[in-house]
Amino acid sequence: MAANPHHILQPVKVGFMTASVVAALAFNLLPWQDVRGVPDLLALVLTFWCVHQPRKMGIGIAWLLGLVMDTANGALFGQHALAYAALAYTAQGLHRRILSFPPWPQALHVLVLLLGSQLLMLAVRMLAGGTFPGVSFFVGGVIAAALWPLATFVLLAPQRRPHEVDETRPI
C-alpha cells in the first residue's frame, strides 16, 4: 500500500483534494463534548497533501483553514493558522525526504511535525494566559500520526492504476 517507487500514480484530482480537506474539517467540527485526545484530522490531511502534492497545497491554504478552525473552535484568532502554516512549511520542505521512507517511518516524521505544531499552539496559548490542558492534549497528535499509513492508503486510492496488465501500455 506504500508509495511504491515502481508504481506510477495517476495525476491527482483537485476535486478529491478539496473533498478530503472538507471532510477532515467536518470531522474536526463534530461535537467532541469533552473528549480529549481526538486526532486533528485536518492537520493530518494538510500534511499529507503538502507531502504528496507540494505544488497544489501550501502555506496559504493551510493558514486560511487554520483561521476557519479558530473561528469554529472559539480559540485565539490566529492560533491554528500559525500552527498550520508552520506545519505546511515543514511538510513541504521535507516532502522528498519523507517520501523516500516506508509508511511507518513516514508516520514517525509526521508525528514530529504534528507534535511540533501542537507545541507551537501550546506556547502561544500559554503566553496568552490560557489553562494548561494537560498531557492528554498531545495524545491527539500521536493518534493522528498513527493514522498516517491508513491516510496514505485511503487518500492515494483514487490515483492508483488498476493492476491488470495491458500489453499496449508503454510503462
Partner 1 sequence: MEHTPPQFFHRGPAPIARLTFFALLSVFLMVLDARFRYAEPLRQVLAIVAYPLQQIATAPFTAIARSREFFSTQSALREQNTALRAQKLRDAEDLLKLQALRTENDSLRRLLAAKEQVPGEAIFAEIVYAGRDPFSRKVIIDRGAQHGVQTGQPVVDASGVLGQVTRVQPLLAEVTLIIDKDHAIPVQVVRNGLRGVAYGSGDGSTLELRHMASNAEVEAGDLLVTSGLDGLYPRGLPVAKIAKIERDSAYAFAKILGQPVAGTTQHQQVLVLAAEASAPTWSAEPDRAKKGARTKRSARKGE
Query: Where do the DSSP E strands lie in 12-73?
Result: none
CB 116 within 8 A of CB 43: no
Pairwise CA distance, residues 69 & 25, whole Å: 8
* Burial class for 168, CB neighbours closer than 10 Å (0-12, 13-18, 19+): exposed
Question: How near is the Cβ of 144 to partner 1 at its closest, in Å?
Answer: 15
- Our finding on whether 76 is near partner 1 (CB under 8 A) is yes
Question: How near is the Cβ of 130 to partner 1 at its closest, in Å?
Answer: 3
Closest CA to 70 of 125, 33, 7: 125
Of 44 and 107, the one with the shorter C-beta distance to partner 1 is 44
Question: How near is the Cβ of 39 to partner 1 at its closest, in Å?
Answer: 13
- Our finding on whether 133 is near partner 1 (CB under 8 A) is yes
Contacts with partner 1 by CB under 8 A lie at: 22, 25-34, 36, 55, 58-60, 63, 66-68, 70-79, 81-82, 85-86, 89, 92-93, 124-125, 128-133, 137
